[in-house]
Structure 1
Amino acid sequence: MTYVAENWVINKKYKSKIQATEMEYWRRSCRISRIDKVRNEEIRQRMGVKKDTLTLIEEKRLITEWSPVGRRKRGRPRRSWRDEVDESMEKRGMNGKTEMDGGVG
């Protein structure tokens, strides 16, 4: 499910779909339907899941150091892969090169 995920640009719509697909997988693995009204946290705990798929994707992005090349198109630029990486780093309290190089920031 996460093949080449570090290069994806994930907006809110796709984040929601990824989370829904992941939870559907865990629910089916536990043989628990939505009708049983069991919370997602409970299912993750039963299955021993430490990190969700979106967290794994964000961690893969932070490891990869890549910048696209080429000219921009007309109009408002789309959200780039680099914007997603910077947002993930900011959310985790990391700052720039020092974290990516393995140093202490």
Structure 2
Amino acid sequence: MNSRTEVDLQIDPTGALLVKWTGSANDRRPAAILNPVFEELLGSGRYLRFDFSELEHISSSTMVLVLRFFKQLKALGVGFELRYDESAAWQRMTFAPATALAAAPQVSLAA
């Protein structure tokens, strides 16, 4: 299992910023790693699409940061959606509640 979180930023064909998470998000100090990424995302001025479907694991401390960021996006009126693998029980239990914060309906993947 990959012990590091990889967050890849790409512009998708619609002009939105795709934020693709892979690996295992279990860093000991997730704020040190994620806060600069979150600042970059806020500064992009683009609609955001978060894709967690290839993430192997996310720690509770990392998920708290992600949820706070989603709440911040919502408060600022920044549009975003998220994708996860609904066939993976842990992803469904982790990310399904977060879809209520997203501006667009959640897009989930079947295996």
TM-score > 0.5, shorter chain as reference: no
Greater helix proportion: 1
Q: TM-score, normalised by structure 2?
A: 0.30
Q: TM-score, normalised by structure 1?
A: 0.31
